[in-house]
Structure 1
Amino acid sequence: MNLMPASASTHIPPRTLMAFERRFRDEDDCREYLEELRWPDGFRCSCGSDRAWRTARWLWKCAACGSATSVTSGTVFHGSRLSLMTWFRAIWSMTGSRTGASALELQHSLELGSYRTAWTMLHVIRRMMQQRRRPLLGRIDVGIRCFCGGGWQCAPGSNQSSVIIAVEENDAGVGRIRMRVLVARTPTELRAFLEDVVAIGSSVHPDDAEARRLLDASGYKQPPARPSTRAGSRIQLTAGLVKRWLIGTHQGRVDHAYLQEYLDEFSFRFNRRNVPHSGTLFSHVLTIAVTTPDKA
């Protein structure tokens, strides 16, 4: 019985579809990759001990507390009726394309039995994309836009959602972004959003009258807003990009009940638009999947 700590390993994310297919040929390849992501320095039990041995090929037994742990324990993959290969291919489809994938595209490409299965998988992956987001820093533009099924221009009386957009300024003009669907458009709601997504010490600049009114009424404390170094509305630019993405990838057919998840996916992609290759995004999503407890 070997009680030595599990050894560390290094993972290399695939860069292309061909590399993906060579790397992940079966379930064991997927589990091996997940172990490298979940325990990069070797296995560690939730009790804190790194003393363990394998009781089966993919099961660890802790020498300290006696618990048995698999690489999928406590994750979205645990107990799933879908294979890890199917999950890996779905995540690759989402991250390997600049625009993502629709549920219909995923159903056809993975030969899934139903549209509902593909739709559910995409929303599970989008929830992964919500995790581990560093707060915006520096000068932050904030604006409110209304979203209707086909875009941001809403006809009177139409079903619409209010979205607060925060954009970080950087040397290129537009840095990272955050978006949130507003329930009541109250000062309290705006303040909660800013406290969640903006780093302390940053300055917030309202882009429109509604954002200014809510910001003034919220009591949100901040340094004086410094002048922008770039002309034009970063909020309007971001809103336009989101609209084109929703129409291009999802044909504008977005249920308002799930709009937040679509906004989170867009933010995830946009904020990582300069990564060297799509394999980095693929690996990032999988890392979140196996290191963040599943709360679904």
Structure 2
Amino acid sequence: MNMPEASFLAWQKQFSTEDDCLKYLQQMKWLNGFICPGCGNNHSYEITSHHLYECTQCKKQTSVMSGTLFHGSKITLNQWFWAIYSLGSDKGSISALRLSKLIEVNWRTARLILKKLKTAMGHRDSLYQLSGTIELDDALVGGRQKGKRGRGAAGKKNVLIACESKDKKAGFIAMAVVDSICHFSVNEFVKKHLKQGQQVHSDALPALNIIGQTENYEARVTPGYLVDEWLPWVHIAIGNLRTFLLGTFHGVTGKYLQEYFDEFCYRFNRRFIEKQIPNRLLNLAIIHLPVKST
């Protein structure tokens, strides 16, 4: 479903006040009017001083923010909406430090906002499984320590990457941090992110052979100068990922790595409709269940 494109001026005009944000949230959450989450009754009294609605039947009080990504938040909806626009509109992403300055909160609050939004991004894309011809490879990402190169590099994390090959362009991608590249981790990744019976291409790493149990698997030992002919799109995705991580975050550590991957995949999978991302992300925040602060 297409969403409206979002420009800075249009967003500013639509969500200039807290009331604007509340009205939009109420409209999108209760498309057909108030529904009590306790008994299903559709009549309520509004307690304007606390932005609460009390059911006329069971007397349960509920907030329009309950059951959304904004649930329990101490900051205003206006700050939330601008955080969503800032994250969604910049294809290079935004750091917690920069966001904290833009919406005038401390770094920890900005970091928590980004965590919740990136978690929602990951959950949204997890609903989609890759299909058709799929390129699958592994990579080492992250870590700031200097050391040996290759699979034994200190401080780096193993990553599995899959990318749909659509002839002259890449389709959807999926990425996951794994403890090691082994039969178990590869099998779990394939079960979660790929439909069964697809055509999967990879290099000849032995740990990837388990893919053949559920997919039409073809592996090739490919010299370096030919690897981009056999696995072109997945290598482009890996290169774009590294540029993304270095450009905004100047390198990352393993602790938050999956969050960065979730954001990168969400953006990559919507790169042809990138101007819709702020509105898509806003609606995702409204329908997504609360994310724990820890």
After TM superposition, the score normalised by the length of structure 1 is: 0.82
Q: 1:226 offset after TM fit, Å?
A: 11
| Shift, 1:78, TM fit | 2.2
After superposition, give the CA deviation of every residue in 1:35-69 in whole Å (9 maximum; x if it has no partner): 23323343334357362223334433445654332
Q: Secondary structure at the match of 1:129?
A: helix
CA–CA separation in structure 2 for the residues paired with 1:272 and 1:189: 27
Flag the 1:223–1:59 CA change in 2: closer, same or farther, 3 A: same
Q: Please state which structure has a larger fraction of its residues in helix.
A: 2
Q: RMSD over aligned Cα, in angstroms? A: 2.7
Rounded Cα–Cα distance in structure 2 between residues aligned with 1:43 and 1:202:
44
Would you say the 8 A contact 1:139–1:225 is kept in 2? Answer: no
Instruction: State the partner residue of 1:132.
Output: 124
2:65 paired residue number: 72
Shift of 1:288: 2.1
* Aligned partner (choices 188, 199, 203) of residue 195 of structure 2: 199
Alpha-carbon distance in structure 1 between the residues aligned to 2:148 and 2:121: 28
Mapped partners of 1:269, 1:294: distance in 2: 22
Q: What is the 5 A alignment of 1:52-67? A: 52-57=43-48, 58-62=51-55, 65-67=58-60
What percentage of aligned pairs have identical amino acids?
31
* Alignment correspondent of 2:242: 243
Matches within 5 A, 1:140-155: 140-149=134-143, 155=149
Q: TM-score, normalised by structure 2?
A: 0.83
1:42 corresponds to which residue? Answer: 33
How many residue pairs align between the two structures? 275
Please name the residue that 1:274 is paired with: 272
Unmatched tracts of structure 1, length 5 or more: 1-11
- Where in structure 2 are there 5+ consecutive unaligned residues? 221-228
2:15 matched to 1:16? no
Name 2:162's counterpart in structure 1. 166
Runs of 4+ in 1 over 6 A off after TM superposition: none
1:63-91 Cα shifts (integer Å, max 9, x gaps): 56543322211333222121111111111
1:209 matches 2:178: no
- 1:26 to 1:14, Cα distance in 2 relative to 1, 3 A: farther
Q: Secondary structure at the match of 2:171?
A: coil
Q: Do residues 81 (structure 1) and 79 (structure 2) align?
A: no
